Amino acid sequence: MSSSTVAMPPTHYLNNGLTLKSWLFTKDHKRIALLYLVAVTFFFMVGAAFAVAIRLELATPAGDLLSDENYNRVFTMHGVMMVFFFLIPAVPAILGNFLIPLQIGAKDLAFPKLNLLSFYIYFVGSLFTMYSIVSGGLDTGWTFYTPFSTVASTSAVVPAALGIFINGFSGILTGLNFIVTIHKMRAPGMTWFRLPLFVWAHYATSLIQVLGTPVLAITIVLVAAERIFGFGLFNPAVGGDPVLFQHLFWFYSHPAVYIMILPAMGIISELVAASARKQVFGYTFVAFASIGIAVIGFLVWGHHMFVSGESVYAALVFSVLSFIVAVPSAVKVFNWIATMYRGSVSWETPMFYVAGFIGLFAIGGLTGLFLASMGLDVHLTDTYFIVAHFHYVMVGGTIMGYLGGIHFWWPKITGRMYNDLLGRVSAVVIFVGFNLTFFPQFVVGYLGMPRRYHAYPEEFQVLNVLSSAGASVLAVGYLMPLFYLAYSLKYGAIAGDNPHGAVGLEWNTTSPPPTENFKTTPVVTWEAYEYPTPVEGHVV
């Protein structure tokens, strides 16, 4: 292991230009990743503030804290902020941006200016959506179901929709950038099957971003057109079909779930391998599981609509495909566990996040089987069971993975170590708080409590109070890293190039890396996760 006496490299991407302009106009993928880190963290905080308001309101059965109108605006904005401005960009735009060039031995992404443009598109999109909060709010739910969103809602639907529309192009361009980079910029010897699984996961994610997001953009334009000009697209009073909207919306928004979870799975593959100092078990199966999930994930959107009046035979096909897409996810989990077998398993923070991810994702994935079961979905859909399920996947899965990745690569990003004890404690607090918050929601959902209810029957109160109490624990867990990571920026021990003793090209350069990433172009002669590393000068 590196000792704490190592010094920071004299020049690196962080001190190569200290002016504001050098940050705001940077074309360095690492600096752009940090711009995203700041923005995405901000939107997480905004989304979390809305979550606090929701859980406070639901602590009592009566709708007494917020008016019904405001409650609807609050849960809508919680969803919009978390889905479009936090979960979808979080891992790809921050860690993907930072790591893909480093992991494949490239100097930058294929299109650095496009990368910066993506960030500003995201920024402008977020401004429109934030504007909708102050100009009347948005009360359609993040799902924008028609004809409510196009005819009935009196809230600021168009600015919010415009923001999401604009933001979509950020994801499309980032995805395009990743695909081209992974195809064309790999270092000599970095064959497809030597790529880290993080890169495979991002390749699969990018395919979804590029192919799926335009459908969302079109759908949002149609909603705006109907709202502004009264086109009869979705409003049945003028000849439209409201269910058509749901097909278009979920055609993107179901794959969007995989945009959120696949990159987090990529992180887990990296963290398991590095924590166990062992090759990922069944590398090719894990890699193709990502592609399989991305492809089948495009064909399951109808499982959101089993009670929406789609034909029972269409429902049949969507159901069986939804069951089948569970298999590659299960394969990944089994391979991660097998990777730990006879490893040298670290007990540092990243491994704690990995363990948390696997536990929560297992529950999130298995409860997906309940919802793919049509006979059961009729009862469960639109209840708190759904809310619990997707939070287990998106929050328990994606955020655990994201935070695990942030901790694991923090020394590479900043050159400093955080307090590892606090890191482990935060992982445990988040895991416990998360289960306290969302497990009761499975129970109250099967009891029949519908989602998006401002007030609810009294017999559901105890479970809701448990959930709200859990949310306060969860909030502490999420705030902790903010403080000790910020503290480490100035006071953390110098990390050295490879504090984890991990393999992977990103650990073969300085921490923080130089602007050009590598002093000389690396030549790869080894397989992914090959321990002990054959790289000269590597400290294990």
Partner 1 sequence: MRSGTPLFPEAASTIAPRVDALYLFLVGLTAFMTILIAALVVIFMIKYKRRDPNSIGARIHGGMALEIIWSIIPLIIVLGIFVWSTGIFFDIARPPAETMNIYATGKQWMWKFQHLDGQREINELHVPVGRKVKMIMTSEDVIHDLYVPAFRVKADVIPGRYSHIWFEATKAGEYHLFCAEYCGTQHSGMIGKVVVMEPDDFQAWLSGGVQEGSLASAGSKLFQDLACNTCHRPDAQGRGPVLQNLFGKTVTLASGENVVVDEAYIRESILTPSQKVTAGFQPTMPTFQGLVSEEGILQLIEYVKSLKTDMPVSAVRPNTGGPAPNENTPAQAPPTRN
* Residues in 229-258 at the binding interface with partner 1, rule: CB under 8 A: 236-237, 239, 241-243
Under rule CB under 8 A, residue 345 binds partner 1: yes
* 140-155 per-residue burial string, b: 16 or more CB within 10 A, e: under 16: bbbbbbbbbbbbebeb
Contacts of 224 (CB under 8 A, 6+ apart): 157, 158, 161, 162, 165
Residues in 470-529 that interact with partner 1 by CB under 8 A: 501
Contacts of 490 (CB under 8 A, 6+ apart): none
When binding is defined by CB under 8 A, the residue of 42, 111, 231, 285 that contacts partner 1 is 285
* 337-370 per-residue burial string, b: 16 or more CB within 10 A, e: under 16: ebbbeebebbebbbbbbbbbbbbbbbbbbebbeb
**CB nearer to partner 1: pick between 254 and 278:** 278
Under rule CB under 8 A, residue 337 binds partner 1: yes
Q: Minimum distance between the CB of residue 203 and partner 1, rounded to whole angstroms?
A: 20
Under rule CB under 8 A, residue 279 binds partner 1: yes
Q: Minimum distance between the CB of residue 478 and partner 1, rounded to whole angstroms?
A: 22
Give the span between the Cα atoms of 140 and 369, in whole angstroms: 28
CA nearest to 58, candidates 502, 508, 438 = 438
Give the span between the Cα atoms of 183 and 164, in whole angstroms: 29
Q: Minimum distance between the CB of residue 264 and partner 1, rounded to whole angstroms?
A: 17
Under rule CB under 8 A, residue 228 binds partner 1: no
- In this structure, which long-range contacts are made by residues 111-117, counting pairs with CB atoms below 8 Å and at least 24 apart in sequence? 111/176, 111/177, 111/180, 112/27, 112/28, 112/29, 113/27, 114/173, 114/176, 114/177, 115/27, 115/29, 115/32, 115/173, 115/174, 115/177, 116/25, 116/26, 116/27, 116/32, 117/173
Residues in 50-109 that interact with partner 1 by CB under 8 A: 63, 68-69, 72
Q: Minimum distance between the CB of residue 58 and partner 1, rounded to whole angstroms?
A: 11
Q: Minimum distance between the CB of residue 23 and partner 1, rounded to whole angstroms?
A: 37
Residues in 127-156 that interact with partner 1 by CB under 8 A: 139, 141, 143, 145, 147-148, 151-153
When binding is defined by CB under 8 A, the residue of 43, 252, 281, 410 that contacts partner 1 is 281
**CB nearer to partner 1: pick between 92 and 396:** 396
Binding-site size, partner 1 (CB under 8 A): 99
Under rule CB under 8 A, residue 451 binds partner 1: yes
**CB nearer to partner 1: pick between 189 and 457:** 457
Under rule CB under 8 A, residue 359 binds partner 1: yes
Give the span between the Cα atoms of 403 and 473, in whole angstroms: 17
Under rule CB under 8 A, residue 346 binds partner 1: yes
* 207-242 per-residue burial string, b: 16 or more CB within 10 A, e: under 16: bbbbebbebbbebbebbbebbeeebebbbeeeebeb
Residue 464 region, left (φ>0) first, then alpha (ψ -120 to 50), else beta?
A: alpha
Is 43 in a helix, a strand, or coil? helix
When binding is defined by CB under 8 A, the residue of 30, 278, 391, 416 that contacts partner 1 is 278
Only one of the segments 85-93, 282-290, 413-421, 487-495 lies at the binding site for partner 1 (rule: CB under 8 A); that segment is 282-290
When binding is defined by CB under 8 A, the residue of 85, 165, 283, 478 that contacts partner 1 is 283
Give the span between the Cα atoms of 304 and 316, in whole angstroms: 13
Only one of the segments 102-110, 293-301, 452-460, 513-521 lies at the binding site for partner 1 (rule: CB under 8 A); that segment is 452-460
When binding is defined by CB under 8 A, the residue of 74, 197, 355, 494 that contacts partner 1 is 355
When binding is defined by CB under 8 A, the residue of 379, 432, 480, 538 that contacts partner 1 is 379
Give the span between the Cα atoms of 297 and 146, in whole angstroms: 24
Is residue 115 within 8 Å of residue 97, measured between CB atoms?
yes
**CB nearer to partner 1: pick between 149 and 426:** 149
Q: Minimum distance between the CB of residue 297 and partner 1, rounded to whole angstroms?
A: 16
Q: Minimum distance between the CB of residue 15 and partner 1, rounded to whole angstroms?
A: 30
Helices (H), 448-508: 461-491
**CB nearer to partner 1: pick between 381 and 419:** 381
Mask for 304-323, x = binds partner 1 (CB under 8 A): --xxxx--x--xx--xx--x
